[in-house]
Amino acid sequence: MTDDFDFGSFMDLNNQADLREHCISLFSALAQYPQNVDAVNLHKSALINDPLVGTLEGLKSSVAAIELEDAASIASSMSLLNLVVPSLNESKYDGLEQSQIDIIPALKERINKAKTKNDLIFIAHIFQWVNNSSDVSQRLHQVIDFLDHDPDIYEQTTSALKRDDKLAALDQLLTKLQDNHQIGFIAGDKMKKLLDRGVEEWLAKLVTTDALSGIADEDLLTKNLCKMQLDEEILDEHPDFMDRLIDCCDILTSTGNTNYSGFLFLLLVKDEQQFSALQKINNNIEELPG
């Protein structure tokens, strides 16, 4: 968020609808296969020059950094666009539904041509776009975490994505990978510590070893561990909320909430005073036993 954040402009629903349309157009251009350079540059420029995007510094800088030969820059922007668009006011003809239809052929082509980890990351982001909070996208991201340890998973993953029931195929693959490798996601003693503190098994299985790599076992046992449900309206009204949350908590994992349209976070609190201030903004929190 910029220092001269214009809250009034951000809350203007017409302004939000315009920004939403620019976001939709850019994602659609990035998702195409092959990408049209002129179309990407056109919609990239339109989004960067949107008067409201200056209030969303992270989105603006990510989009400005897009280079078609730099897969990481595209993946970063796709991820942010997936997060931002649902939180913005929609208009009747903003083009989202048409975008979701138009990129299906490109999605199928990307699955057929996938050869790298970045290819699969793009596919996961597109599944998320086509069906917001897609279970297929979530499972695919989990499988992708195994790729650095076992490149042979590429073929198994693309094969699963070509199945009619992609979710069932990815679930089967993920179970196999977790049983055979125990790499990427926590298991054993780390898993038991979270389960003993009241974390549901399905949520604990989303926690990666990287997320716990800098956390002492004693902290995992004694510090305030909680689940936070975060509605998109909070992000609208408090654009700096996520930055403040990251400052005062270790985010062990996050996922789309299956019960409503927001997000579910598993948090280990580092700074109780800062966290208490956030609770005054969003008190939809369940503290787990210590």
Tens-digit pLDDT profile for the chain (290 aa)? 444 444 444 445 577 889 999 999 999 999 999 999 999 999 999 999 998 888 888 899 999 999 999 999 999 999 999 989 988 888 777 899 999 999 999 999 999 999 888 999 999 999 999 987 689 998 998 898 888 666 778 889 999 999 999 999 999 998 888 776 655 678 778 889 999 999 999 899 889 888 898 899 999 999 999 999 988 788 888 888 998 999 999 999 988 765 556 789 999 999 999 999 999 999 999 999 87
How much is the CA Rg of the chain, to the nearest whole Å?
20
Q: Using the 8-state DSSP alphabet, how is residue 238 labeled?
A: -
Tokens of 145: 């975490």
Type of residue numbered 75: A
Among candidates 198, 194, 219, 189, which has minimal Cα distance to 206?
194
Q: What is the pLDDT of residue 4?
A: 45
With tokens 């062990």, the residue in question is 252
Q: What is the pLDDT of residue 149?
A: 63
Distance CA 158, CA 95 (A): 29
Q: What is the pLDDT of residue 105?
A: 97
Q: What is the pLDDT of residue 259?
A: 57
Q: What is the pLDDT of residue 189?
A: 83
Contact 170, 140 (CB under 8 A): yes
Q: What is the pLDDT of residue 257?
A: 60
pTM equals: 0.62
With tokens 């939709």, the residue in question is 24
Among candidates 8, 15, 160, which has minimal Cα distance to 88?
15
